[in-house]
Amino acid sequence: MLRYLTAGESHGPALTAIIEGLPSNLPLDLEFINHQLWRRQQGYGRGGRMKIESDRVEILSGVRFDKTMGTPVAMTIQNKDWRNWSEKMAITGQAPSSVVEITKPRPGHADLAGALKYNQEDIRNVLERASARNTATMVAVGSVARLLLRHFGIEVYGHVVELGSVRVEKFEGTIAEIAERAERSEVRVADPEVEKRIIEQIDAAKAAGDTLGGVFEIIVTGAPIGLGSYSHPDRKLDGRLAQALMSIQAIKGVEIGIGFDAARTPGSHVHDEIGYSQGAYQRRTNHAGGLEGGVTNGQPVVVRAAMKPIPTLYKPLESVDMRTKEPYRATIERSDVCAVPAAAVVGEAMVAWTIGQSFLEKFGGDSIEEIERNYKSYLQAIGER
């Protein structure tokens, strides 16, 4: 069973992740992981924190000579901003007089619910862990899963399809070409004309002290038929993908394939007709997004996630001081105007992780060589059907 745990605070010494369940002998490219961490920090509309941090992962265990050993892999990402917070976030001792407790929760954040749930007087004890800074560990573990999938010819792509009120209406070229154009974009969109309009909207939001959300799309190519299962609700791959994406900070909605449009369209125009040609089953359309009954059907897996605007506003909303119960404007923390392009990178990581889990459940073994044999045998078997 492939699983991970993470730990760390936004302004603590470091972020940490432990991965359990990786096979032995999987080549692990450290620079690939670091490149994904770099991608997470890019995007027009990001805040000052991205100028401070330059994330790089350090592997502490489970890897020798660039290959996994079949034991838990421990990783850490240092927080460079810790040097400015070492007193305010000290692990031992008493809080110094310089610490100003946060008592004014921000609407849309975990501040109020978290402070009440965990009985905290200082909301900083909530926001430090709830912070999207912790998505760095998601990207790190997802990148490892991505390397596993790449070993078997499965690729994961991501791009922004909507930001604020601006939507990408046309997608030209192959999936790889769309992703390549998006990679060159400051807002991770494949259409240069739309990119200009989005940047103008981000600039306007910044000037107004506001923030913007949007929608990103993740596409997985090369996934074989048969990942996931219809046998139990918690084994359905579409449900697991939705949970993985909803676990990302600020994600409020997920759709697969044509998603909510399927509810507005007659069934004869929704379901993907099946054909057989050149020794394989074929589909002319992919409205289902590569998943039927919670199982991959051989088509590209297509999933979208909607990100709400970041709740930290430089023109803060009305709130209440939890100590005095008096009305106040919410606390201002350093933040982004828009993080949708970065969220797309996190989305890629979480989708890769979830597909990787299902892949190992289906073809798993103790070594990468054993998995290769299992996978080859399965592809041969279904190719004869």
Is residue 225 part of an annotated ligand binding site?
A: no
**Contact predicate 214/164, CB 8 Å:** yes
Q: Is the dihedral of CA 263, 265, 266, 268 positive or negative?
A: negative
Half-sphere exposure of 294 (CA within 13 A, CB side): 13
Within 8 A by CB and 6+ apart from 353, the residues are 2, 4, 138, 141, 142, 145, 244
Task: Identify the burial level of 23 via C-beta atoms within 10 angstroms of its C-beta, where 0-12 means exposed, 13-18 middle and 19 or more buried.
Answer: buried
Is residue 71 part of an annotated ligand binding site?
A: no
Is residue 48 part of an annotated ligand binding site?
A: no
Sheet bearing 3-7, strands edge to edge? 3-7, 14-20, 73-78, 57-61
Is residue 167 part of an annotated ligand binding site?
A: no
Is residue 129 part of an annotated ligand binding site?
A: yes
Is residue 146 part of an annotated ligand binding site?
A: no
**Contact predicate 320/326, CB 8 Å:** yes
Is residue 96 part of an annotated ligand binding site?
A: no
Is residue 224 part of an annotated ligand binding site?
A: no
Is residue 124 part of an annotated ligand binding site?
A: no
DSSP annotation of 4: E
Is residue 218 part of an annotated ligand binding site?
A: no
Is residue 312 part of an annotated ligand binding site?
A: yes
Is residue 21 part of an annotated ligand binding site?
A: no
Summarize the annotated binding site for FMN as residue ranges: 129-131, 249-250, 293, 308-312, 334
| Residue numbering of the annotated binding site | 40, 46, 129-131, 249-250, 293, 308-312, 334
Indicate the annotated binding residues for NADP(+).
40, 46
